[in-house]
Amino acid sequence: MSKTHQTEIGLILYSGAQLSAVLGLTDLFGMANRIATGHGQNNAPILRISHWQAEAAAAAPHRVFDSSPGTLPVTPTALILPPTLGEPMTAETSAPLARWLRDQHAGGAILGSVCAGAFVLAATGRVDGRRITTHWTYAETLQQRFPKVRVDADQMLIDDGDILTAGGLMSWTDLGLRLVDRLLGPGVMLETARMLLVDPPGREQRYYSVFSPRLTHGDAAVLKLQHWLQATGAKDMALTTLAARAGLGERTLLRRFQKATGMTTTEYCQRLRVGRARELLQVGGTTIERVAWEVGYGDTGAFRKVFTRLVGLAPGEYRRRFGTGQACGKQDGTD
């Protein structure tokens, strides 16, 4: 096949990059290559995989691995920032790499990130005003460091054309398969997913994330209320009760609670209730109706609606996917 038909995907080895993700993506794209070749697609682009070492003091990364050695260098079609098992890179330490990535993007390269790789991506400035995702535990920090970026940690994968971002540590499979879908077609992508025994893209990070409320805001009255809500499971959401517990007027509470926690009292209480519901659904065969009542909902329909909106799965679907106990069949009712 002609060199001009090669499509290069570069994987960036920055400081602390997770090597298992780099090698896993290398294998995933290699498998897709073999499948595409086996399909006999005469003009199908063959993926060329390269690794790029990013040195802290260097102005630009350099290739340290090339799956097509001896061929003429080509401009990468896509560059991917893998996750890290350490702390995310700061804007200062990632500045040389961010400048290089910005130049590559200006030349037409797709930029992608997985998990904490989003911090380097955000440092390029190329995602200002755009929606990206990262691991849910990093979402608040990423938003604080880069306020112009729109962080949506509910999503496992966000495909924004020239920018691809994936959330959790293992979501490199989702990003890799999405690139295979785009570059080699859906047939090759699905067969690659089947061979590797992984789900095709379509999962959501909120299936797995745990509500982690903001507690370091410095508002003692709001913090006192948060502790009470946690202890009681937020079963009483009445504004009069919440204001009395905080020792504030209702309008003052609403304003200060939103400022301190980043959400309304209603949304905060719903997330606490749904968090408890997830625990109940994961163990044992309690009916959906009983779970709804246990977390404070007298109306099962309202519970299902709130749960599905926040988690992305109906209660029965969540139990079937994540439950560790024996389901009770008809007790679940309809979703």
User: pLDDT tens for residues 81-111?
Assistant: 999 988 999 989 999 999 999 999 988 889 9
| pLDDT of 44 strictly over 60 | no
Q: Which pLDDT belongs to residue 9?
A: 96
Share of the chain above pLDDT 90, in %: 58
What domains can be seen in the chain, in order of their start residue? 3-207 (3.40.50.880), 220-332 (1.10.10.60)
**Which of 247, 255, 210 lies closest to 225 in space, CA to CA?**
247
255-279 pLDDT, tens digit each: 999 999 989 999 999 999 998 898 8
| pLDDT of 315 strictly over 60 | yes
**Which of 65, 97, 72 lies closest to 6 in space, CA to CA?**
72
Q: Which pLDDT belongs to residue 253?
A: 96
Cα angle for residues 295, 133, 109 (degrees, 5° grid): 165
Q: Which pLDDT belongs to residue 40?
A: 59
- String of b and e for 246-266 (b: at least 16 CB within 10 Å)? bebeeeebbebbeebbeeebe
Q: Can you tell me the distance from the alpha carbon of 147 to that of 284, in angstroms, rounded to the nearest whole number?
A: 42
Q: Can you tell me the distance from the alpha carbon of 255 to that of 245, in angstroms, rounded to the nearest whole number?
A: 15
Mean pLDDT of 172-180: 93
Q: Which pLDDT belongs to residue 2?
A: 40
124-165 pLDDT, tens digit each: 999 999 999 999 999 999 999 999 999 998 888 998 888 999
